[in-house]
Structure 1
């Protein structure tokens, strides 16, 4: 029989109370959880930003009437620059007149014109779409086409109907991004 432990030795009293112990067999550690797959966080943010801008562009699309003003500005264009564009303070480096063109012809001409303007690194161009008063209806088709195409293009930073001396609501000044 083991000797009587000292009354003050708590550890010895505990060992006496529980009796002999045997160690547990060693076991392997539980398997670690698999690490999550890496995500392209910046790409997701870019996609969300692009989708947000696209949806804002769609929300802005409404049928324009003959006298309505075309106006659009990307967030990266400072308001002061946009004000200069609205006032016609930018010199148009090239011009496209869509008078007399069908919708399909006008869209093709417009896309080709913008691509060439971008290739020549023009900063500002003027597009004459007409007011649509001769069409008989209240919706000018060329004006609405120009509005839709310009909003979809990544190289278009901003646009606004020209001042009265430069064509008024029958023309639009377009600010283009440089390469």
Structure 2
């Protein structure tokens, strides 16, 4: 098998590696060409190509804190189509409609918050209420950066998902982030369907 010759920078790197190691078989002669596996230029097929990486010295490494490709919960809630009366929706977003009930989930774990939310929404709908406020809080920064990433404001992210799943999905007509006078980013307006 024909093999290509090492470039000078590759040879230098290989020599640095071999200088720091001991040979398993010192009796065998050493040739740097014995360790190259790329075929020569003339034997390459049309589909193959060679990519030469940029020198490491020219690359600037900037550590990133985290990369989240999914849209934020605020964007997801805002992107939902309006299913209620447009005029009432506008008034609700401006904080002009007063919520008929309020559930505060501050300090609860997800295990306690999910059943409490389900009870509250189903109870409010059975009482004929149309607009309720669910306060989740904005979440707090965690001091420990462990190996497993934890979302900022767990309940804030979970509540819209819970509201879109059965049994609540059949009761909830619209979910929207609350106006600043009712909690802003730490609360949601939940507009309920009429009880039939």
TM-score (normalised: structure 1) = 0.57
CA distance in 2, matches of 1:75, 1:104: 30
1:18-167 correspondence runs (5 A)? 64=72, 68=74, 70-71=77-78, 73=80, 76-135=83-142, 137-152=150-165, 153-167=169-183
Question: What secondary structure does 1:130 align onto?
Answer: coil
Report if aligned partners of 1:159, 1:175 keep a CA contact under 8 Å in 2.
yes
CA RMSD of aligned residues (A): 2.2
CA deviation string 1:2-32 (max 9, x = no partner)? xxxxxxxxxxxxxxxxxxxxxxxxxxxxxxx
Unaligned runs of 5+ in 2: 1-69, 144-149
CA distance in 1, matches of 2:124, 2:191: 11
CA distance in 2, matches of 1:155, 1:135: 34
The structure where helix makes up a greater share of residues is 1
Q: Relative contact order (C-alpha < 8 Å, sep 6+): which is higher? A: 1
Structure with bigger gyration radius? 1
Report the count of equivalent residues.
Answer: 116
